[in-house]
Amino acid sequence: MAELTKPPSAMRQYAILLRVGLASAMQYRADFVMTAVGAICYEAVSLAFVGVIVYAFGSIGGWSLVEVAFVYGIRSMGHALHGILSGQLWTADGVVRRGEFDRYLLRPVNPLIQLLARRFQVTAVGDIVFGAVVLAVTAVAAPISWSLASVVFLIAAVIGSALVESAVMLAIASLTFRLLASSPILSVADTVFVTFGPYPLSVLPRTVAHLLTFVLPLAYAAFFPAAVLLDRTTELFVPTWLAFASPVVGLLLYAAAVLFFHRQMRHYSSPGH
């Protein structure tokens, strides 16, 4: 009889867990709506802030308002997808410290999938709507003559943008197994992504730009792909092919972060009880 029991594929299990996570979130309906609305307001404020800065200075390092807005659009949508995929990483330290991770190790499902699908990230719904609108508007406004190839590149770039951010956050969250705390470091990384994400990094001092390319790989998340699409690759501080490869970099970084998570998982020492 037990032979009949066979766990479904990882994708199917992820879908099951998302269903469960959504049902859990819907238990608090008022919370659901309010958080989504709150997220949109938060994003709108940050967009207004970018607008004010560019308006005040006319342009940033030779990038016009619409061009900066386009960088922002890519980042916005990337960040929203990242929120759907990785929002639960913020709860990793609680999950590990309280021992909820025990049960992830007991089920025939990959523990990372269980962590990521722990609860449906409500704010992500607002972010997605907002991100899609901003991206569509800025992409139309930007001085780009769209072709099939450039649209495909844009989509890949947005997914890559999400993966870059998710990779960084996942790598940091993996430290939880040893440090038992990761949210302060996650906050720092998040602040860097939010603060520098929507700007053309070429205006920054070279050292900082390099740091944001090779240490905290923010450049691949919006600036490089935007430079490619806006045809401003001449002012990049890295070889052009690297800017073109941004989506691939996102994929590779995320794969590396997943491996890192599984290695760090061995250090899990379940809290006593």
Ligand X SMILES: Nc1ncnc2c1ncn2[C@@H]1O[C@H](COP(=O)(O)OP(=O)(O)OP(=O)(O)O)[C@@H](O)[C@H]1O
Nearest CA-CA partner of 85 in 167, 25, 16, 143 = 167
Cβ neighbours around 225 below 10 Å, total: 29
Whether the CB-CB separation of 158 and 77 falls below 8 Å is answered with yes
Q: Which is it for the CA torsion 20, 16, 254, 227, positive or negative?
A: negative
**Is 62 among the residues that bind another protein (CB under 8 A)?**
no
Residues 6+ apart with CB under 8 A from 22: 120
Nearer to another protein, 111 or 197 (CB): 111
**Is 271 among the residues that bind ligand X (CB under 6 A)?**
yes
Minimum CB separation from another protein for residue 172, in Å? Answer: 15
Q: Which does 107 bind (CB under 5 to 8 A by kind): another protein, ligand X, none?
A: another protein
- Rule CB under 8 A: choose which of 97, 107, 262, 263 binds another protein: 107
| Shortest-Cβ-distance residue relative to ligand X | 272
d(CA 156, CA 161): 8
Nearest CA-CA partner of 128 in 91, 79, 170 = 79
- Each residue 234-273 as x (binds another protein by CB under 8 A) or -, in order, gives --------------------------------x-xxx-xx
**Is 266 among the residues that bind ligand X (CB under 6 A)?**
no
Q: Of the ranges 17-25, 155-163, 193-201, 263-271, which one interacts with ligand X (CB under 6 A)?
A: 263-271
Tell me which residues touch ligand X (CB under 6 A).
269-273
